[in-house]
Amino acid sequence: MPLFKTEAVILQSRKFSETSKILVAFTREKGRMSVLVKGGRKGTKGFAGGLETLNRVEMQIYHKGGRELQNFKSSDLVDGYAELRKDLKRTYTALSLAEVAVRGTETEDPHADLYRALVETLEVLDRTGENPWSVRWNGLLRFCRELGFGMALQECRQCGSKTGPVKGFDLERGGFLCGDCKLEKPHQMPMPGESWGVLRFLDTCRPEAAARMAVHADAGRRIEALFNAYFRYHLPGLRGFDSWKMLPQLYWE
């Protein structure tokens, strides 16, 4: 059977039997992949190391096309992101992005840019505990672009005005609406003016610059609610992400 060697981030790990587990890995070359890892008999050898959720690894997989579950051969740890794991906010931020990669992509649907965005975001979360929400939104802006519903934030989506004030956000068109335009459709939600500048900056900056973007708690909650509504609107089958629910409380209470 062909051996597939790839770098990957472990998105999920669950027990399959007493001696085996199933990993959901996001591979750099082939996107999301489920991998069966067989351990030794109970109490003897155990599992290969380095396979915890959020770890970045070099992995060898016995790969057979058209199969939902692949077989694990071996792995080497590239980065375990030990610093971000010491901080609940950063850990949940990282898990919230992992959940998008698990549930927002298909099996073996390559997303090299999403992989790069995920790894770069994990690296910044590991380096600094500053403004993890801004780092998350920067990652999500890259994710939604890669998943085909990127936001367009440079001007009012209705009239094209490039100057504020901002009144709301149009989920369908993926951008802001200015004060001169009407907010009347169910997919249009009011948004505070501050959010426009924040998201415009985060949409184009590097993840390390995103960590320097401070946001007031009130605006933060509104932006967080916007991302929830936006991903639910564009990925309606998913009805939101479980790991996102506790973020506002964790960030701002």
Residue 126 CB, shortest distance to Zn ion, in Å, is 40
- In angstroms, give the least distance from the CB of 230 to Zn ion: 19
Residue 28 or 173 with smaller CB distance to Zn ion: 173
Question: Which two three-digit tokens encode residue 35?
Answer: 């991998």
Strand partners, 190: 168
CB of 154 to Zn ion, least distance (A): 13
**Sole binder of Zn ion in the list 178, 189, 223, 226 (CB under 5 A):** 178
Q: x/- binding map, residues 130-159, to Zn ion, per CB under 5 A? A: --------------------------x-xx
Which of 25, 181, 211, 215 lies at the binding interface for Zn ion (CB under 5 A)?
Answer: 181
Minimum CB distance to Zn ion smaller for 74 or for 154? 154
Task: Report, in Å, the least distance between residue 189 CB and Zn ion.
Answer: 15
Structure tokens of 189? 């939600």
| CB nearer to Zn ion: pick between 23 and 178 | 178
Residue 166 in contact with Zn ion, rule: CB under 5 A: no
User: Which residues of the chain form contacts with Zn ion (CB under 5 A)?
Assistant: 156, 158-159, 161, 178, 180-181
